[in-house]
Structure 1
Amino acid sequence: MAVICISRELAANGEETARELTKIGGYRYIESNHIESRMTEMKIDHQDIRHFDERKPGPLSLLPERRLRFLQVLKEIIYEEASRGNCIILGRGAGALLRGIPGVISVCLVAPRELRVHRIKLAHSCDERTAEHQIRQSDHDRRGFLKYFFDLDWHNGENYDLTINTGAINPKDTAALIDSFRGFAVSSADEKRGIQMLKELRIQSAVMAEILYARKLRVQGFSATMKNGRLTLSGIAGSREESQAAETAARSIEGVEMLDNQIAVLPHASAS
């Protein structure tokens, strides 16, 4: 098995293909409802989810804390789900977040524009003008989302392991093609290394979210780096108490066992 990230144009059979893949190998299907539910549990405001999820941010992007918190929580969710292995993640920048990790396959599904228009007209019983508008808006949003949050060119084939034109292939056969590619591209050793990397990334992300957004500790330039099972905290705190609070918060995260607190203490740093 593997982690399969699917990026898709609207009406390129992304959702249908993902569901067919679950039938082939028992993959877990991680889609928008699941991610939104997790974000709500993690106290992300529903307005922020609507504003940032697979969209190019508008006026709220001027509030960097909300944007950064959304991204940090999204990372934590994606890393956690991927670290469990054997899943399909639909959209949400998963391919960008997991790029270069062994055992992860990034797939892009596209289709001819006229066919996409036809599929939308059939699915929504709408006219061609309405279908065209939906396509333009969706393409604009997804392109903007990936560029804004991940500096990624959505339609650049170099960013994917596999790109499939679904214009002449149905979802069942598309799923079979992806699963066949997975068999060639991913080894059990890849999966093992990838899962370990993902577990460490999940811990890093969870620590960042806990310290910066849940507990709102004021540590300038804060970072958390996990390597070979050891978590290292760095940054600048205004007092020893703030440094210790950050360490306590980090130790509260599941999976943190070995920890080096390298946060420097400079009086009045938090107020500058």
Structure 2
Amino acid sequence: MTWNLAGFDLPAFVRSTLDEDLGAGLPGGGTDVTATSVIPADARFSGVMDSRDACSIAGLPIAEAFFRALDPDAKIEILVEEGAQVTPGTDLMRLEGNARALLTAERSALNTVQHLTGIATMVRAYVTAMDNPDCTLLDTRKTIPGLRHLEKYAVRMGGGNNHRMGLWDAAMIKDNHIAVAGNVGEAVRRARDAGVKDIICEVDRIDQIEPALEAGATRLLLDNMEPPTLREAVALVAGRVPTEASGGINLATIKAKAATGVNYVSVGRLTQSAPAADIGLDFTPL
């Protein structure tokens, strides 16, 4: 398998996830007591992973890595591409191998695919509801600790784009930073004088826009503004920097907010609240 993700250690993720499920290092841990006591060591299974819902797929190569970690000789065929939109009943993966190994890896593999596919599916729903090729849907840093790279990958598979990956790749000046600095302009100036290249500044009032721009903000996050105010803000910015709408955005409101002329719309719930997709895996003894 050649799947990889920059900044993400797939083998370490697989190992730590399996160790958690197996209780590695705990008294009596380190084994799947059900599989080892019930399934003969040489038994073999074939299986099919399939979708039970309409969904946008993400995470199948990671599921493959779980199965191969416990059975390197398993025969695995991924049947759909990452990001594909599938109908209920679509076969996603076929696999064959040692029954104990496949059963032990099953839940970790399914949990990952269900979670990432759930994110990709929600993102696709938001992109469809936005219905605006001139506006880009973004995620946020509202991710589960340890899963950020995977969750942001799933956002891309659903048709969205990523906001900054963390605290290191852009400054985002928000209300608490502004409160400590004294005002919007001073907060932005401090970031600029520190040599920060990308400076995103949150503004929740029209009168904060000019001070932020004059001080050197390279993007404005227009927070919790209704469409009429967003249109006013976009007109005032007049293309000097990109604009982003954030706050209070859901499937019912995204189209109107995107239509105000903003360049981006960011939605925290894409990674924070996406429900798991209904994906199953059925095994047959060989």
Task: Name the TM-score class by shorter chain.
Answer: under 0.3
**TM-score, with normalisation over the residues of structure 1?**
0.27
Q: Name which one, 1 or 2, has greater alpha-carbon Rg.
A: 2
**TM-score, with normalisation over the residues of structure 2?**
0.26
Select the structure that is richer in helix: 1
